[in-house]
Amino acid sequence: MNRSALEDEIGRLLGDKRHTRWPTGVLRSRIEMAQKEVQVLTGALKTVDTLTPTAETFEVEVDSKVIDISRVTLTDSDSEVHILKGRSRLDLDYYLPNWKNKDSGLPEVYSWDASEQDLLLIPKPSSDYAITDALKVWEVRTPAELTGNFSEPFDGNVLMRPFHMSIVHWVVAQCFMDDGDSVALGKSKFHKSGNMDNPGEYEKQIKKINSKFGAPTSIPQRIKWTPQGGLLRGTQSPTKSYPWG
């Protein structure tokens, strides 16, 4: 659906086909909010960008629209591709507490600093690896705004076309909330419950998108632990103090 078709479908579900209760200006601003939220929750759209690292510098600036980074590679002067391991900033400080003091060289780890809109490379690249367009970065970005009636959401991505109703249900739910009475709020909850365990139509769409594309996060979560007591040592055979062997 393009923007005009989205507005028509929203009007039908609201019982406001002429857009008198909810003008198109209101619908369009909410359509933009809806597609941004869907992208944040699912990370379905990914853009591959090429960036240039700076010698002796951890930070590499990324586009202001980037909301997540799922993969980074670095190509050296011999055209060998190195896949960097991703860690969150907390993960980085926990497992590599001395990372800021490491000598420069070939980066092995990347971390996405969303607050500063920077990609961190660890160790910081030496001059041998500060090569133009050496970095290939898989980014999750906020989608472009719909500027015309024929503009498609989600940057016109073909695979996202079956999920345009996620925007419709989000906007319809938001509009019903404007009335605020029990009947309207009940209708709003049907379209968007706000609870993934008891989903409305919007949440069902989000689950389908995540099932189709997966929900990338910058860094996978892991349980952090330090061996203690009998876990400090192990043998080939299970024991009472070390049952895993």
With helix as H, strand as E and coil as C, how does 175-225 read? HHHHHCCHHHHHHHHHHCCCCCCCCCHHHHHHHHHHHHHCCCCCCCCCCCC
* 214 — pLDDT class (breaks 50, 70, 90): low
- pLDDT surpassing 80 at residue 124: yes
**β partners of residue 141:** 66
pLDDT of residue 215: 46
Residue 110 contacts residue 85 (beta carbons within 8 Å)? yes
Tens of pLDDT, residue by residue over 177-187, are 999 899 999 99
Residue 89 contacts residue 113 (beta carbons within 8 Å)? yes
3-state secondary structure of 27: helix
* 226 — pLDDT class (breaks 50, 70, 90): low
Q: What percent of the chain has pLDDT over 70?
A: 87
| Alpha-carbon gap, residue 70 to 84, rounded angstroms | 11
* 152 — pLDDT class (breaks 50, 70, 90): very high
Peptide bond into 123 cis (omega under 30): yes
pLDDT of residue 90: 87
Distance separating the N- and C-terminal Cα atoms of the chain: 58
pLDDT of residue 238: 63
pLDDT of residue 223: 58
Residue 102's CB: how many other CB atoms inside 10 A?
A: 14
Q: Where are the domains of the chain?
A: 3-44+145-213, 47-141
pLDDT of residue 245: 58
**Average pLDDT in the 49-55 region?**
95
pLDDT of residue 89: 85
Order of strands across the sheet that contains 81-83? 47-51, 135-141, 66-75, 81-83
Contacts (Cβ under 8 Å, ≥6 apart) of 79: none
- Which residue is listed with tokens 């997540």? 68
* 154 — pLDDT class (breaks 50, 70, 90): very high
**Average pLDDT in the 204-214 region?**
89
* 220 — pLDDT class (breaks 50, 70, 90): low
Classify residue 71 as exposed, middle or buried by CB count within 10 Å of its CB (0-12, 13-18, 19+).
middle
Segment holding 143, helix H or strand E: none
Residue 74 contacts residue 81 (beta carbons within 8 Å)? yes
**Average pLDDT in the 49-67 region?**
94
- pLDDT surpassing 80 at residue 134: yes
pLDDT of residue 211: 87
pLDDT of residue 222: 60
pTM over 0.85? The answer is no
Q: What are phi and psi of 117, to 5 degrees?
A: 55, 45
Class of domain 47-141: mainly beta
